[in-house]
Chain A
Amino acid sequence: MTDRPTVWEEMPKINRDLLAPLQTTTWTYFLWVGVLSCLVAAGAGAWTFQIQTGIGQTDLHHPIFWGSYIASFVFWIGVSHSGTFISGVLRLTNAEWRRPVTRLAELMTVVALLVTALFVFYHLGRVWRFYYLIPYPNQRELWPNFRSPLMWDATAIFTYATASTIYIYLPLIPDFALARDRIHGWRKTVYRWLAIGWHGSQAQWRTLEMAIRIITPLIVMVMISVHSIVGFDFGMALVPAWHSTIFAPYFVVGAVHSGLGMVMIGLYVLRKVYHLHNYVRTEHFEKLGKLLLVTTLLLAYMYFAEQLTVWYGKVPDHIAVQHSLLYGAYAVPFWFMVSCIYVIPLLTLVWPRFRQWPVGLMIVGLIINIGMYIERMLIIVPPLAHPRLSFQWDEYFPSLIEFVILVGTLALALLLYSLAVKFVPVISIWEEKLGKKHAPKR
């Protein structure tokens, strides 16, 4: 055996450190949760109002039939790619440094997917008839139309949500078992159920590792397909500047870009709040920073390819949209977006010294996410605002109700995440231990 005794000796400390967030709660946490709950309540109120009075409470109007809700939908799906990408792709490539990051990112995936689903409901004109989308025959023996990209979307997101829930749950089983043995009260019962009789036998370990090995490549494939299909929603449409082949891969990369940015924020905040400096080290920020640099370049390349094609092709329908972005009604958000997601990350992340600076990386992550949100809006709104019949050209800006719902939903995501942190160890304990075991001694 090549075990280093230190890992084994450290185990009680690791257990203590990583279960601490579950066991100790400060008043600031309650304050934080309270504030978020108020925002969520405001959002819920706004949505109720919108359902009662009509979807017209948004600023949507023809020909701009989609707006901030769909943009948010795309955005949150993008955020959900953080977990799958980091834990999936990095697991596949055996990147050891992933370990402290995976759980936190996967948790983001699940929360983001829940939120994503909400945006579909916000968006529906008759949300009380949402069940028409469920595949079962209606009274007239009619099923949903699977030729619609929206049904592809529904299928893909259902698959993705199911798969990523499974994917976060499986590695959690040993940690649930750990928590089951150390936490008392009502949570113990829940952990007992969730740990499904885990006792750390080699048979269980083998099954678990095998399952993770099988599911990991599958979920990476699902992840790529999901955001491709979200891209297809736009690419399949005849709308000028949507009808483009690059949308599927572009959406996937964009999703990873914003997802990594979001992980950067989460990593920084959790490390700070729960003093996880021993586990989340500068090294992790640096690695993520490098990845972010890669996605920045990749996304910029794709965006350039897309816009160049439009510019050179000079098809009037498409060029009208491009003009509105470059120097028309949407120029200000467009150039702001370009700075946020391409220029600033590029100019900062290329410096190795910068990548050693967690605060800076967190800020870049934040900027990228603000930029990516605007980018989602700019993908959706300007093309819709410039239909081929120029008589119908128009503009759009989200209404107050939309803002309240968007903020409320953001608060909901943060709230769910904050609550989850109290229930789920944000760093996978056994994987961390395993990582330490494999790690060369400093």
Chain B
Amino acid sequence: MDLYRRTLFKILGLTAAGSSLPGCEREVHNLVPYLLPDGDIVPGVANWYATTCQECEAGCGTMVRVMEGRAKKIEGNPTHPVNEGKLCARGQAALQGLYNPDRLQGPLRREGKRGQGPFRPVTWEEGLSEWVEQIRIHAGKSAMVTRPVTGTLASLLTTMMDSLSGRLVMYESTGEQTLRTANHLSFGTQALPHYDLANADYLLSFGTPFLEHWLSPVSFGVAYGKFRQGRPMVRGRFIQVEPRLSLTASNADRWIPLRPGTEGLLAMGIGQVLLRDGLTNLSSSHQASFHRTFSAISLQAISADTEVPQEVITQMAHELSSANAPLIMGGGPAAAQTNGTTTLILINALNVMIGAIGRRGGLQWMEPQDPPVDLANAGLAGERTLMDLAMEFEQGSRTLLHLYRADPLFTLPPSLKFEGVFDHAQFIVSFSPFLDDSTSMADLILPDHDPLESWGDHVRQDTIPVPAWSVSQPVVRPLYDTKPIGDVWLDAAHRLGGSLGERVPWHTFHDLLKSRWQAVLTKHDSPRSFETRWKETLQEGGLWPSTIPHHQISPAIPSITYKPPQFLGNSSDYPLYCYPYPSLGLHDGRGANRPWLQELPDPLTTGIWGSWIELNPTTAQSLGIHPGDRVRVTSDYGSIEASVMMFPGLHPDMIAIPMGQGHRAYGRYAKGRGVNPVVLLGPNYDEQSGSLATGGTRVRVERIKGGSQLPMLEQSGKNPVFGNLQETGGL
């Protein structure tokens, strides 16, 4: 150990000398005296580079600390409007994507049967020419499934797929497709509003996991801090309604559990009370239609169905009306039912009733902006769209599949039969930097750089008060023989030649990026040269106006009828609702190859490095199940086995399972660990948005032989008693 630091310095010093990175670096060769306390060590000098986090779609601005040519730490960019200098666990763990031991180190060609490997390293020339050859063979029959991308890369991919008459599908399992659909129907705009939590004084949230992964968790985190303690004399009050006490719910002043899928009904009840007691400030023209919509079901029936007492419903309505700046949000599990869109429309209508639209501390939209770079016009796809794609492959109208950082084989339930795409596709190319479950089915892998090695940009024009146009820059030299996906597509365009080559005359993605930004920067700020402005933009991490006018929305609340949620599986065979939820660290599974995130305790169960089944203790008792017992969870579509954790904050008719584990591939930390709960889910959709109702499957739980102690941070979890606080000063 004593020598480790010295050798580290030595090694890093050498690599730094060869580094081509911008900025001057001072090499540090101090020998650190053996017995010197750490406080005495004079640290070396580090450089910080601004870039953009790409771990989720929020697009937080980051600063990467680079010493001796190695990225050391990622922190939030203090000036960035999304995250204001803060960063979540997943964003910080992006370093373990860069330095992941299981990264693909160069292009690979499949040798054996598809899906069984082995892969043979090939040169880029071999790989690219084979791929271009395949594009030619499958002319007009290309398709690409990618994680959601924005900005220049999105426009390049769109252009390319357009030119090849291909189909571009951006998919994200937690893409809140339902929310977008509901908002479109309610407010007539594609853009999501900015929920002005920081200035609200009362928050009623229907299931939104805004402190975990919903939309932009870091900006919500920042706002939540202000909501609670950021203003003198005002402390925001927060009510969360959902069947499982999530991390977000655990922060609420009051958690109101209800029967899964009845969030819309509860919203209807609250609206009913608001209307009944004349607590809305709706225009008289609206009154009638609202009355029609909200009085369809009696409060008594609502209370019985939701299991929320009438007086609680009334109380919530009165609290909403007496608050100065109440705010209502809906999403997460509330949207993950067959009636998700309806539920969210009802919630939106409640926001209209309390006058939250466009209000400070309410829902705000910014004036539509002319983005500096194209917004992707492909948009996000729901599961239905993927099913359409699968159909096209089955019919043979699509034969060439491209994958980019999307793992549909892992994130989609097998009951959706998406693996048919992999059976029918004649050739599969993946640009993913890891051998994930889907990429291991590929014929050719052309691995992308890590985001920390790449140029790029990110456009964010909703859910925050001002638009954020962020840039990413390489902060370290590429570790391996990988190529950025943009370069690869441009190369392909030139190889394919013809009009395509003319449409994209750039040779590298960096050139393309700069040319896009040249247009913007010269437009926004003329006097100085582009190069100066570009460098400043890179230093700052992007471009964002300080303020922007609000866009006035006139809500169009459609007259809707409440639909009860539909569940797959009858209640006698399958008595329990199944709720798979994205894990805080691993999210939908993409974090599973980062040891930091595997070792990051789930905040509520404190489980690490594995999967578990959460059961309400009373339910467990009635089933004769004890903590740590192994159980089998079965639905009509599949079954999984895992150990049980007691979870007092769970609706007794429900089980919850974290997502993110159960990979068949994806590197040493993820492979074969835990179970993937999506195998339980049946093809149950919210028809309006076309997204999968992940909460719409029923299951049964039975105890099986065995049982093992789950790795947990909480040691007392090994005892059947739950921890209680002692001497913490009345915490």
Interface residues in chain A, defined as those with a beta carbon under 8 Å from any beta carbon in chain B: 63, 138-140, 142, 316-317, 320, 329, 388-395
Contacts and interface: CB of A to CB of B under 8 A. Distances in A.
Nearest to B714: A391
B726 A316 contact: yes
Contact of B35 (A63, A140, A320, A391): A140
A393 B726 contact: no
Contacts of B125: none
B715 interface: yes
Contacts of A391: 714-716, 723
Given A317-B726, A317-B727, A392 B716 contact: yes
B34 interface: yes
Contacts of A140: 35-36
Nearest to B34: A139
Interface in B691-731: 714-716, 718-719, 723-728
A63 B718 CA distance: 14
Contacts of B725: 390
Contacts of A142: 35
> Chain A at the B interface: mostly helix, strand, loop or mixed?
loop
A240 to B, nearest CB: 10
23 contacts: A63-B715, A138-B35, A139-B34, A140-B36, A142-B35, A316-B726, A316-B727, A317-B726, A320-B726, A329-B719, A388-B727, A390-B716, A390-B723, A390-B725, A390-B726, A391-B714, A391-B715, A392-B714, A392-B716, A393-B716, A393-B723, A394-B718, A395-B718
A319 to B, nearest CB: 10
- List of 4 A-B pairs having minimum Cβ-Cβ separation, nearest first: A393-B716, A394-B715, A390-B723, A140-B35
A63 B715 CA distance: 9
B717 to A, nearest CB: 9
Contacts of B726: 316-317, 320, 388-390
Contacts of A393: 715-716, 718-719, 723
Contacts, number: 39
Interface centre among A320, A393, A395, by most chain B C-beta atoms within 10 angstroms, is A393
Given A393-B715, A393-B718, 12 more contacts: A139-B35, A140-B36, A142-B35, A316-B727, A329-B719, A390-B725, A391-B715, A392-B715, A394-B716, A394-B718, A395-B718, A395-B719
B730 to A, nearest CB: 13
Contact of A390 (B34, B35, B724): B724
A108 B475 CA distance: 68
Nearest to B723: A390
A142 B34 CA distance: 13
B244 to A, nearest CB: 21
A296 to B, nearest CB: 33
Contacts of A317: 726-727
Interface residues of B, number: 14
Interface in B628-668: none
Contacts of A138: 35
Nearest to A140: B35
Contacts of A329: 719
Contacts of A320: 726
A74 to B, nearest CB: 24
- Residue from the set B723, B725, B726 with the largest chain A CB neighbour count within 10 Å: B726
A336 B129 CA distance: 77
Contacts of A392: 714-716
Nearest to B713: A391
A393 B723 CA distance: 8
A63 B714 CA distance: 11
A188 to B, nearest CB: 50
Contacts of B724: 390
A139 B36 CA distance: 10
Name the residue among B36, B715, B724 with the largest chain A CB count within 10 angstroms: B715
Nearest to B37: A140
Contacts of A388: 726-727
Q: Which of A138, A139, A390 has the most CB of B within 10 A?
A: A390
Nearest to B725: A390
A342 to B, nearest CB: 28
Interface in B5-46: 34-36
A392 B606 CA distance: 12
Contacts of B716: 390-394
A392 B725 CA distance: 11
A63 B723 CA distance: 15
Nearest to A126: B1
A27 B35 CA distance: 55
A316 B723 CA distance: 13
Nearest to B724: A390
A142 B718 CA distance: 43
Contacts of A316: 726-727
Contacts of B723: 390-391, 393
A144 to B, nearest CB: 14
A330 to B, nearest CB: 12
B712 to A, nearest CB: 10
Nearest to A64: B715
A142 B726 CA distance: 39
A391 B718 CA distance: 10
A401 to B, nearest CB: 20
Contacts of B728: 389
